[in-house]
Amino acid sequence: MCLINIKELNVTYRVGYKTIFVLKDINLDVKSGEYVCIIGNNGAGKSTLIKAILGLEPIFRGEIKINCSKNDISYLPQNNGISLDFPATVEELVLSGTQSTSNKFKIPFYNKKNKIQAGIAMDKAGIKSLAKRRFGELSGGQQQRALFARAIVKCPKILILDEPCTGLDHDTAENFYELLSCVNSSDKTTIIMISHDLSAVKKFASKVVILNGELKFCGSVAEWEKYNFCACGGNL
């Protein structure tokens, strides 16, 4: 089943009087259960594409069809923007993910089911022992796991992550990718991840997308390796 269908997508930014095309004529399908990795240089438009999918950036031309509810999509942005003196505990942070996005301005109310969901998500993320710790006092890797637990607490159909392992050491990042892979294979969560970590992309992706303002490549890891080989004129 096709969960996301992008057709002839163009996204622009206004810089002064100029209109700059950041994404040009992008066509892309994301199917249920896929693990899509988006790669490309800094400024290639990767985060912009994700934001357009999420409805956070307006579309200049083209269309994006999403075949599930907004509540079925979770997003881990490039910079979490949470300050280090954020007072909530890990459990409270994860619980907040159980609230519907339309509930934003209401006082949150957590029932027993929500607390069970939060327990399961923290368990999956391996941070149950950190439940009562303040988010701001955790290490970068622990914070990322707490945010991940929050993102999966409602068992989303689609999980979108923008460079989730930036700043994490190799082993912590590797563990995080394993966690993602587990959620993808056992919960059938569709994953869309932006990454500069090409070895992780090679290991985990079922579909690789290369962006450079335009869509340069889209295919399996095997096809990507062939594409790289051809791009180097066979001199790898």
Ligand X SMILES: Nc1ncnc2c1ncn2[C@@H]1O[C@H](COP(=O)(O)OP(=O)(O)OP(=O)(O)O)[C@@H](O)[C@H]1O
**Structure tokens that stand for 71 in this block:** 């509540």
**Structure tokens that stand for 236 in this block:** 């790898």
Select from ligand X, Mg ion, none the partner in contact with residue 229, using the beta carbon and a kind-dependent cut-off of 5 to 8 Å: none
Task: Answer whether 178's CB lies under 8 Å from 204's CB.
Answer: no
Which residues in this chain contact Mg ion in the complex, by CB under 5 A?
47, 78
Nearer to Mg ion, 47 or 142 (CB): 47
Rounded to the nearest whole angstrom, what is the least distance from the CB of residue 162 to Mg ion in the complex?
6
Rounded to the nearest whole angstrom, what is the least distance from the CB of residue 26 to ligand X in the complex?
12
Count of CB atoms within 10 A of residue 118's CB?
25
Select from ligand X, Mg ion, none the partner in contact with residue 55, using the beta carbon and a kind-dependent cut-off of 5 to 8 Å: none
**Structure tokens that stand for 142 in this block:** 């622990």
How far lies 215's CA from each of 47, 59, 166, in Å? Answer: 14, 16, 23
Nearer to ligand X, 117 or 195 (CB): 195
Rounded to the nearest whole angstrom, what is the least distance from the CB of residue 49 to ligand X in the complex?
7
Task: Answer whether 132's CB lies under 8 Å from 159's CB.
Answer: no
* CA pair distance 186, 7, nearest whole angstrom: 30
How far lies 50's CA from each of 57, 131, 193, 202, 218, in Å? Answer: 9, 30, 9, 21, 16
Select from ligand X, Mg ion, none the partner in contact with residue 124, using the beta carbon and a kind-dependent cut-off of 5 to 8 Å: none
Give Cβ neighbours of residue 89 (< 8 Å, ≥ 6 apart).
131, 132, 133, 134, 135
Nearer to Mg ion, 67 or 78 (CB): 78
Q: 3-class DSSP state for residue 139?
A: coil
Select from ligand X, Mg ion, none the partner in contact with residue 111, using the beta carbon and a kind-dependent cut-off of 5 to 8 Å: none
Which residues in this chain contact ligand X in the complex, by CB under 6 A?
13, 15, 22, 40, 42-48, 78
Rounded to the nearest whole angstrom, what is the least distance from the CB of residue 147 to ligand X in the complex?
17
Nearer to ligand X, 42 or 235 (CB): 42
Rounded to the nearest whole angstrom, what is the least distance from the CB of residue 14 to ligand X in the complex?
7
Select from Mg ion, ligand X, none the partner in contact with residue 190, using the beta carbon and a kind-dependent cut-off of 5 to 8 Å: none
Nearer to ligand X, 9 or 44 (CB): 44
